[in-house]
Amino acid sequence: MIELKNISKSFNSHKVLDDLTLTIEKGQTKVIIGRSGCGKSVLLKHIVGLLKPDSGRVFIDGQEITNLKEKELDKFRMKIGMVFQGGALFDSMTVAENVGFGLIEHSRQIARKELLERTEEALCMVNLCGIQNLMPAELSGGMKKRVALARALCIRPEIILYDEPTTGVDPITADSINELIKSLHDKLKVTSIVVTHDMKSAYRVADTIAMLYQGKIIAEGSSEEIQNTSHPVVHQFINGLATGPITETLD
């Protein structure tokens, strides 16, 4: 369903993705782990065409999107719900306006009645029925994350990309977000990519886990395979060890 082939991307002289290849099968939940600043968000942005690779190709549903213009990309973006890091809600807009935002962007002709229905449907899916008229400032951190997810769901996506969905919330809230990711996956049969450095969350939601390090996927496997890895870099990362082969600081 999603294929990244030999993607390289540099900013100035800093190579963030280095000949990276990754495939995500239809209906799969793939978790991408890696340190802060290693290029996880950059990778996701290539899938929605927000960034273009310096070299390499991106395919969605077998169709190449690498060099599509904004207008042609819209057709693919209709299939993809992106839950941005930190939620990225507009503070001056109500919850309903935030949730409906993506849908209006994609289909400007949408009738008001349908917009209201779709907004409510999406909010109920994240267990926040009836909070349409609240402002983001009135929400807890966990609620903001769920509203951001409702915004992605509002377009009824086939693919959902989650950028650090549990970062910055307490462990109990994090667990309820993990549960939500899993139940949406089961209910909607979506293909998902979850980017995180929260290993508990990774094990919880993943069909397979891939680790990004120095611009490449250095290991890939089931939660169990990753937990039992003999790769020293993966071992150091998943166990949060200060000493090991990873020494450079990224941020």
Ligand X SMILES: Nc1ncnc2c1ncn2[C@@H]1O[C@H](COP(=O)(O)OP(=O)(O)O)[C@@H](O)[C@H]1O
Rounded Cα gap, residues 243 and 71, in angstroms: 48
Closer by beta carbon to ligand X, 38 or else 131? 38
Closer by beta carbon to ligand X, 36 or else 63? 36
Number of residues counted as binding ligand X (CB under 6 A): 10
Q: Which residues from 11-40 bind ligand X, rule CB under 6 A?
A: 11, 16, 34, 36-40
Residue 32 in contact with residue 51, Cβ under 8 Å?
no
Which H helix or E strand runs over 177?
helix 171-188
Q: How far is the CB of 227 from Mg ion (least distance, A)?
A: 23
Closer by beta carbon to ligand X, 62 or else 240? 240
Interface with ligand X, residue 143, by CB under 6 A: no
Find the residue with minimal CB distance to Mg ion. Answer: 41
Rounded Cα gap, residues 55 and 134, in angstroms: 44
SS3 category, 127: coil
Q: How far is the CB of 177 from Mg ion (least distance, A)?
A: 16
The per-residue b/e assignment along 25-50, b for 16 or more CB within 10 angstroms, e otherwise, is: eeebbbbbbbbeebbbbbbbbbbbbe
DSSP, res 53: -
Q: Mark residues 176-215: x for contact with Mg ion by CB under 5 A, - for none.
A: ----------------------------------------
Q: How far is the CB of 250 from ligand X (least distance, A)?
A: 7
Count of residues making up the chain: 251
Rounded Cα gap, residues 153 and 16, in angstroms: 29
Among 22, 31, 33, 42, binds ligand X (CB under 6 A): 42
Rounded Cα gap, residues 22 and 25, in angstroms: 10
Q: How far is the CB of 71 from Mg ion (least distance, A)?
A: 27
Number of residues counted as binding Mg ion (CB under 5 A): 3
Q: What are phi and psi of 215, to 5 degrees?
A: 85, 0
Which phi-psi region, left, alpha or beta, contains residue 233 (left: φ > 0; alpha: ψ -120 to 50)? Answer: alpha
Closer by beta carbon to ligand X, 14 or else 187? 14
Q: How far is the CB of 34 from Mg ion (least distance, A)?
A: 9
Q: Mark residues 55-94: x for contact with Mg ion by CB under 5 A, - for none.
A: ------------------------------x---------
Footprint of ligand X (CB under 6 A): 11, 16, 34, 36-42
Footprint of Mg ion (CB under 5 A): 40-41, 85
